[in-house]
Chain A
Amino acid sequence: MQAPHKEHLYKLLVIGDLGVGKTSIIKRYVHQNFSSHYRATIGVDFALKVLHWDPETVVRLQLWDIAGQERFGNMTRVYYREAMGAFIVFDVTRPATFEAVAKWKNDLDSKLTLPNGKPVSVVLLANKCDQGKDVLVNNGLKMDQFCKEHGFVGWFETSAKENINIDEASRCLVKHILANECDLIETIEPDIVKPHLTSPKVVSCSGCAKS
Chain B
Amino acid sequence: MELTEHSIPVDVARQRELKWLEMFSNWDKWLSRRFQKVKLRCRKGIPSSLRAKAWQYLSNSKELLEQNPGKFEELERAPGDPKWLDVIEKDLHRQFPFHEMFAARGGHGQQDLYRILKAYTIYRPDEGYCQAQAPVAAVLLMHMPAEQAFWCLVQICDKYLPGYYSAGLEAIQLDGEIFFALLRRASPLAHRHLRRQRIDPVLYMTEWFMCIFARTLPWASVLRVWDMFFCEGVKIIFRVALVLLRHTLGTVEKLRSCQGMYETMEQLRNLPQQCMQEDFLVHEVGLGLSTP
The smallest beta-carbon distance between A150 and chain B, in angstroms, is 25
A71 at the interface (CB under 8 A from B): yes
B111 at the interface (CB under 8 A from A): no
Q: Can you sample 16 A-B contacts with CB below 8 Å?
A: A18-B87, A18-B91, A36-B93, A38-B94, A40-B90, A43-B202, A44-B203, A44-B206, A45-B269, A69-B131, A71-B167, A74-B168, A74-B173, A75-B173, A75-B206, A78-B202
Which residue in B91, B134, B207, B266 is a CB contact (below 8 Å) of A43?
Answer: B207
The chain B residue sitting closest to A23, CB to CB, is: B94
A67 at the interface (CB under 8 A from B): yes
Over the window 203-239 of chain B, the binary record of Cβ atoms lying under 8 Å from chain A Cβ atoms (1 yes, 0 no) is 1001100110001000000000000000000000000
> Across the interface, do A75 and B202 meet the contact criterion of CB distance under 8 Å?
yes
Which residue in B97, B169, B200 is a CB contact (below 8 Å) of A37?
Answer: B97
Given the known inter-chain contacts A37-B98, A42-B211, A78-B202, please indicate yes or no for A71 contacting B130, CB distance below 8 A: yes
The smallest beta-carbon distance between B169 and chain A, in angstroms, is 5
Inter-chain pairs besides A18-B87, A78-B203, 16 sampled, C-beta below 8 Å: A18-B131, A37-B98, A38-B97, A39-B135, A40-B91, A42-B131, A42-B206, A42-B211, A43-B202, A67-B131, A69-B87, A75-B173, A75-B206, A78-B200, A78-B202, A79-B203
Among B90, B134, B168, chain A packs the most CB atoms within 10 A around the CB of: B90
Chain B residues with CB under 8 A of A71: 130, 166-169
A46 at the interface (CB under 8 A from B): yes
Cα distance A75–B266 in the bound complex, in angstroms: 20
B189 at the interface (CB under 8 A from A): no
B interface, size bucket: 20 to 34
Cα distance A43–B269 in the bound complex, in angstroms: 13
> Across the interface, do B173 and A40 meet the contact criterion of CB distance under 8 Å?
no
B262 at the interface (CB under 8 A from A): yes
B241 at the interface (CB under 8 A from A): no
The chain A residue sitting closest to B209, CB to CB, is: A43
A102 at the interface (CB under 8 A from B): no
The chain B residue sitting closest to A74, CB to CB, is: B169
The smallest beta-carbon distance between A127 and chain B, in angstroms, is 14
Cα distance A19–B131 in the bound complex, in angstroms: 11
A48 at the interface (CB under 8 A from B): yes
The smallest beta-carbon distance between B244 and chain A, in angstroms, is 16
A62 at the interface (CB under 8 A from B): yes
Which residue in A42, A46, A75, A81 is a CB contact (below 8 Å) of B265?
Answer: A46
Mark B residues whose CB is within 8 Å of A. Answer: 87, 90-91, 93-98, 130-132, 134-135, 166-170, 173, 198, 200, 202-203, 206-207, 210-211, 215, 262, 265-266, 269
Cα distance A78–B201 in the bound complex, in angstroms: 10
Chain B residues with CB under 8 A of A79: 203
The smallest beta-carbon distance between A59 and chain B, in angstroms, is 14
Give 3 nearest A-B pairs by CB, closest first.
Answer: A43-B206, A37-B97, A19-B90
Cα distance A43–B173 in the bound complex, in angstroms: 11
Chain A residues with CB under 8 A of B203: 43-44, 78-79
Cα distance A37–B266 in the bound complex, in angstroms: 22
> Across the interface, do A18 and B90 meet the contact criterion of CB distance under 8 Å?
yes
Cα distance A36–B265 in the bound complex, in angstroms: 25
Over the window 72-96 of chain A, the binary record of Cβ atoms lying under 8 Å from chain B Cβ atoms (1 yes, 0 no) is 1011001101000000000000000
Which residue in B95, B170, B266, B269 is a CB contact (below 8 Å) of A40?
Answer: B95
